[in-house]
Homo-oligomer: A and B are copies of this chain.
Amino acid sequence: MAKVLLSVFLVLVAVSSSLGKPEKNTVKKEKRIPQTLSRGWGDQLIWAQTYEEALFWARKGNKPLMVIFHLEDCPHSQSMKKVFAEDKEIQRVADEDMIVLNLMYETTDKHLSPDGQYVPRIIFVDPSMTVRADITGRYANRMYAYEPTDAKLLLSNMQKAKKLLKTEL
């Protein structure tokens, strides 16, 4: 619905600017829609901007961190995003019990790619700063990948991440 309204709005903007007096730079000066940190993975969640920020919050709040690697032009990322954003229970747990970060570019920290760099890929990090390489999806060749049909597994992995590695603190 929001998307439909947005399209209508953009069409109106286009029509009204093409009706207006031609001016220098009109083509260029269309208003951009500000980029959000959620990038469609849940506008109601509070997203960390960078890995450093996310680690700070995880330690401070003693909460697990969930890092989602994705790409705008990857259909698997897009379909996983839709499921993630629309699943109320995933959104609730992410909101209440986790620090969340979504990234389209890899960090320099190799621990975040235990079996390679691919998308979509979801890695949990304990507030003790330990990457939870033990929390995996169901694919042997890409252990941190999730498909839209894996929403329940993802939710149970989120619950698993909530059991902190207290002995490491």
**Which residues of A approach B to under 8 Å, CB–CB?**
31-32, 34-38, 43-44, 46-47, 49-53, 56, 103-108
Give the copy number.
2
Rounded to whole angstroms, the CA-CA distance of A80 and B43 in the bound complex is 28
**In the assembled complex, which residues on chain B have CB atoms less than 8 Å from the CB atom of A47?**
35
The SS class assigned to the A binding surface is loop
Question: Which residue of chain B has its CB nearest to the CB of A52?
Answer: B105
A34, A36, A43, A52: most-surrounded residue (chain B CB, <10 A): A34
Say which residue of B34, B44, B51, B103 sits within 8 Å of A32 (CB atoms). Answer: B44
**In the assembled complex, which residues on chain B have CB atoms less than 8 Å from the CB atom of A43?**
32, 34
Say which residue of B36, B50, B103, B106 sits within 8 Å of A36 (CB atoms). Answer: B36
Task: Please state if A103 and B50 are interface contacts (CB–CB under 8 Å).
Answer: yes
Rounded to whole angstroms, the CA-CA distance of A107 and B56 in the bound complex is 12
Rounded to whole angstroms, the CA-CA distance of A47 and B104 in the bound complex is 13
Question: Which residue of chain B has its CB nearest to the CB of A45?
Answer: B32
Task: Please state if B108 and A49 are interface contacts (CB–CB under 8 Å).
Answer: no
